[in-house]
């Protein structure tokens, strides 16, 4: 089956600075795909090229198995990073206007707008002006406007930015429902918690370049053999000096420890007990934050700690 989206060797330069430097990725249909990376990594520029808002210097974009056309964009829902609503419009007027941009009739839009306002818990604000609403409510309106034309592919640029925990949960539940409906969802984020819970596939970019891409479970399996959970007391910082230790992330009562692929966990443990009182040392699957920090750190030393 053809990918829903396929980007090949996209490049974009601004004033001599490479914003995107040869990004390639493939999004399988019916999946949740995370475009991940530190702030300034090139995520938004990549999405804008995908949506034909800006043109690439080189590279190609394919949608539904063929070169993207303007007609294809009507089958895509897009939530930009920079939110844009008409503040003097009422909520219902705003949604009807957004739906009309996709060629829908006002009769159809009235029912769909009501359905989405109910679904997102803001039906009682349909007659309120946008400027009267909180930022979180405005983001709900923007999401509803993205979905009014029932797109097959949904592209969201930093959809969790600025949301409180309750609305983050609501958005996650909504995105999970999109997947159950067979829709393809691509979203960008630098927050690993949301991506960990939602994504089937990821593409991690840093300084405009792809540094890791693939199915999330497969990536975890490839790294997981040398990830450990350590419970201990003592000088945990000394772990970083041991041969074979690539990453140490402190947590309550111990640390997450990621070893080099060829490192011997038993040997590291024997060295650790010389200066730590160890109560637990067991193999574990690395979480996405560890993968993120390790991959970015290897590609751009110092960058992972700056974001």
The per-residue pLDDT for range 175-221, each reduced to its tens digit, is: 999 999 999 999 999 888 889 999 999 999 999 999 999 999 888 87
Domain 225-306: CATH architecture, name and number where available:
2-Layer Sandwich (3.30)
Average of per-residue pLDDT across 115-122: 92
- Fold for 5-216, please state it: Rossmann fold (3.40.50)
84 vs 195, which has greater pLDDT?
195
Alpha helices in 185-287, H assignment, sequence order: 192-198, 216-224, 265-272
pLDDT tier at 16, thresholds 50, 70, 90: confident
Q: Is the pLDDT score of 299 beyond 80?
A: no
Considering only residues 142 and 1, tell me which one the structure prediction assigns the higher pLDDT.
142
User: In the chain, which residue ranges form alpha helices assigned H by DSSP?
Assistant: 43-50, 91-100, 106-119, 135-147, 165-180, 192-198, 216-224, 265-272, 288-299, 303-306
Q: What is the pLDDT of residues 235-264, one digit of tens each?
A: 999 999 999 998 898 888 899 898 887 889
Query: Domain segments of the chain: what residues?
Result: 5-216, 225-306
State residue 153's pLDDT score. 96
Could you tell me if 258 and 247 are in contact, meaning their C-beta atoms sit under 8 angstroms apart? yes
Asked if 256 and 264 count as a contact pair (C-beta separation under 8 A), the reply is no
Query: How does the average pLDDT of the chain come out, rounded?
Result: 90
Cα–Cα–Cα angle for 152, 32, 258, rounded to 5 degrees: 165
- Please tell me the pTM assigned to this model: 0.80
pLDDT tens readout for residues 125-180: 999 999 998 888 898 999 999 999 999 999 999 999 888 889 899 999 999 999 99
Average pLDDT over residues 75-95: 88
Side-chain half-sphere of 72: how many Cα atoms within 13 Å? 15
Does the structure show a pLDDT above 80 at 294?
A: no
Name the percent of the chain lying above pLDDT 90: 61
Cα–Cα distances in angstroms (integers) from residue 114 to residues 6, 144, 145, in the given order: 34, 10, 11
| pLDDT for res 241 | 95
- The per-residue pLDDT for range 216-234, each reduced to its tens digit, is 988 887 766 688 999 999 9
Rounded Cα–Cα distance for residues 174 and 166 (Å):
13
């Amino acid at each position: 089956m053809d990918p829903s989206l396929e980007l090949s060797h996209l490049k974009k330069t601004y004033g001599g600075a490479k914003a995107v430097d040869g990004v390639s990725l493939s999004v399988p249909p019916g999946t949740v795909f995370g475009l991940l990376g530190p702030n300034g990594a090139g995520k938004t520029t990549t999405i804008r090229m995908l949506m034909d808002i800006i043109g690439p210097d080189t590279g190609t974009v394919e949608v539904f198995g063929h070169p993207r056309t303007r007609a294809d964009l009507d089958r895509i829902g897009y939530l930009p990073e920079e939110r844009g609503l008409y503040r003097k419009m009422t909520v219902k007027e705003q949604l009807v206007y957004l739906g009309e941009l996709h060629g829908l009739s006002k009769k159809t839009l009235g029912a769909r707008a009501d359905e989405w306002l109910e679904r997102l818990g803001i039906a009682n604000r349909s007659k309120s002006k946008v400027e009267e609403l909180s930022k979180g409510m405005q983001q709900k309106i923007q999401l509803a406007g993205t979905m009014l034309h029932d797109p097959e592919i949904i592209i969201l640029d930093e959809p969790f930015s600025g949301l409180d925990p309750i609305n983050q949960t609501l958005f996650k539940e909504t995105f999970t429902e999109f997947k159950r409906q067979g829709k393809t969802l691509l979203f960008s984020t630098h927050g690993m918690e949301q991506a960990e819970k939602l994504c089937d596939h990821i593409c991690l970019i840093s300084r405009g370049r792809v540094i890791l891409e693939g199915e999330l479970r497969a990536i975890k399996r490839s790294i997981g053999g040398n990830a450990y959970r350590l419970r201990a007391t003592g000088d945990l910082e000394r772990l970083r000096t041991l041969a074979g230790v690539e990453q140490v992330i402190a947590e309550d009562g111990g640390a997450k420890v990621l070893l080099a692929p060829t490192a011997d966990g038993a040997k590291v443990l024997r060295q650790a007990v010389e200066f730590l009182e160890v109560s637990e040392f067991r193999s574990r699957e690395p979480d996405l934050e560890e993968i993120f920090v390790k991959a970015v750190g290897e590609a751009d030393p110092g960058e992972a700690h700056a974001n």
